[in-house]
Structure 1
Amino acid sequence: MRFTTLLASLGVVAVTAAAAHAADVELTLSHWVPPTHPLQPQGMEPWAESIKEASDGRIEITIYPSQQLGAAPDHYDMARDGIVDIAFINPGYQAGRFPIIAAAELPFLASNAKGGSRAVDEWYRQYAAKEMSDVYVCMVHLHDPGTLHAKSGPLAVPSDLEGKSVRPPNGTMAQMFSSLGAANVQVSAPEMRDALDKGTADMTGSPWGSLFTFGVQDTVKYHLDVPLYATVFAFVMNKDRIDSLSPEDRKVMDEHCTPEWAEKMASGWADAEAAGRQKIIDLGDHVLHKPTPEEMELWHEAAAPTVERWKTGAQKAGIDPDAALSDLKDRLEKYDSLQGQ
């Protein structure tokens, strides 16, 4: 009887101890890349741990990778509707829905994702409440510049896209590829390999390291060796959830939703993507084409209508596109991340 009483007492102590260590606020963070993707171990996990430490353990974030809670294009609505607390989104997966932030995806704009992420985050804060009013925009960042990768060549000038099927990385680049006579195959990055393997897509837009992340390094053999574009991402949070936090916990979250944290979030991923180019070269059976000055002029001419289309969309969204784009370029230049500096 005493032994039973002792066990019961120990059980009460164990439950009490567990309760004492339980977080006051438990948040879900959903994303759609693999858990091995640099963004999780080098970005999301340190961010979540920093939030836990800053809140003295009150805030605990559980990360759900690989589309466990929903498909990649649905993540904005998942956060908006409270299906998840925090979502990692690619705004370009829903072409035309977020026309202002698409400026960061314009071709030949950002030169790197580190300073570029800080610049874009700073810039978009003045528009976030206007364009994404039904969520709390925590931070915005880029991936390192990507380019085109094809199963067969040549891949040197814009006319090489004519009649081809291309998986675009975002809606902005889809518009450019379409204008060059390509057919867009709208699938997310996790579906890229399937599209290429089945022949649905002849080529894909991707940063270098992601060719290995998503297993297509042996499928695409021809590469346009130029920083063609960057894709913009955001971490957004359900508004009711963040508004429900205590003032001290809200302060912790706000202090982890900054341009500085946007750069930290992007940095590990940026290094991994940049290293992917040399990994492709080391495979030995790939063709990387560096455009000549004359070919680069053709690419810039091909990109010009995409910029004008963005301006038209941004103006319809209620902003001055020339002023906004000039401001974005100034911020990119400030952080040494503007192409052509």
Structure 2
Amino acid sequence: MNGKRRIYVFSLLMCVLALSLLTASSGICAEAEYKWSFAQPWTRPLTDAAFTKFCERVNEYSGGRIEVKFFPSGQLGGHDENFHAMQEGSLEIGVFSPYPTLVPGGCVPNMTWVIVSWDEMRLAYGQPDGILYRVMKDAFADTEGHLLFTCSQGAYGLGNNKRPIRTTDDFTNMKLRVSASPGGVKTLANMGKGKGLMLETVPWGELYNALSRGVVDGCWTMWASLVEER
């Protein structure tokens, strides 16, 4: 009996030791090999939910080897700050618009207003052979970036606090905020030509303050921005 007890005790100790080693090794495996930051410079709840799910899937599909931490609503700075951080290597992933001030030739792939259907969207931006996707991929590569994926955020629209815009006459003496996209600026300028339309460059984060102070009357942007960031 004593011999059997010694065997039982020894076996129990071996089991405890094995479990301890297994737990320790599991802890080591649980530590992510790569830890990346993912910045979103704008406040967009719907896209934030999608990006959060993306981060969860990366962690899941990599078996915990890759951990992507998502920072929404400009927590790591504005759009241009994030872009330069990506170039410098202090930020791994970001949400970027290919403004020509940052991405040479960026005006071409940012011409989403030429797309009027999902079939045209796939033709233009589908990976890996989309007509504009290839242009955009090469443009980002020139700035030390890699195009991970693209996403449509809907058609552009005009929002203002003065009057509904139904004809070009409704642009009369209106002040609209514009971005750094030459294509967008020229488009608006042509739409309001001869109507006294004034275009103002205002950082996106200061738009609502500018609206409240009367610096601008409205802006031209994606419907997602007009609805989610109001």
Q: Do Structure 1 and Structure 2 share a fold, with TM-score over 0.5?
A: yes
Say which one has the larger Rg.
Answer: 2
Output the CA distance in 1 between the equivalents of 2:87 and 2:200: 27
Letter paired with 2:212: D
Output the CA distance in 2 between the equivalents of 1:65 and 1:33: 7
User: Paired residue for 1:123, among 98, 116, 131?
Assistant: 131
Give 3-state SS (helix, strand or coil) of 1:200's partner.
coil
Give the superposed CA RMSD: 3.1
Q: Which residue of 1 aligns with 2:116?
A: 111
Deviations along 1:20-69, one digit per CA (max 9) or x if unpaired, are 311111111111123x611111x212222222222111111001112222
Q: Which residue of 2 aligns with 1:31?
A: 40
Deviations along 1:237-294, one digit per CA (max 9) or x if unpaired, are xxxxxxxxxxxxxxxxxxxxxxxxxxxxxxxxxxxxxxxxxxxxxxxxxxxxxxxxxx
How many Å apart are 1:136 and its aligned residue? 1.1
1:154–1:63: structure 2 CA closer, same or farther, 3 Å change rule?
closer
Give 3-state SS (helix, strand or coil) of 2:95's partner.
strand
Output the CA distance in 1 between the equivalents of 2:98 and 2:152: 12
Output the CA distance in 1 between the equivalents of 2:202 and 2:95: 17
Output the CA distance in 2 between the equivalents of 1:118 and 1:44: 24
Matched, 1:166 2:176: yes
Q: Which residue of 2 aligns with 1:53?
A: 60
User: Paired residue for 2:214, among 199, 217, 235?
Assistant: 199
Equivalenced residue count is: 201
Deviations along 1:193-238, one digit per CA (max 9) or x if unpaired, are 22211211111113345334223xxxxxxxxxxxxxxxxxxxxxxx
Contact 1:48/1:61 (8 A) holds in 2: yes
Q: Which residue of 2 aligns with 1:140?
A: 150
Q: Which residue of 2 aligns with 1:178?
A: 189
Give 3-state SS (helix, strand or coil) of 1:137's partner.
coil
Instruction: State the TM-score, normalized to the length of structure 2.
Output: 0.72
Q: Which residue of 2 aligns with 1:295?
A: none
1:47–1:96: structure 2 CA closer, same or farther, 3 Å change rule?
closer
How many Å apart are 1:170 and its aligned residue? 5.7
Q: Which residue of 1 aligns with 2:95?
A: 88
Instruction: State the TM-score, normalized to the length of structure 1.
Output: 0.51
Output the CA distance in 2 between the equivalents of 1:150 and 1:111: 23
Give 3-state SS (helix, strand or coil) of 2:45's partner.
coil
Note the residue ranges of structure 2 that are not aligned, 5 or more in a row. 1-20
Equivalent residues in 2 for 1:244-283, closer than 5 Å: none
How many Å apart are 1:106 and its aligned residue? 5.5
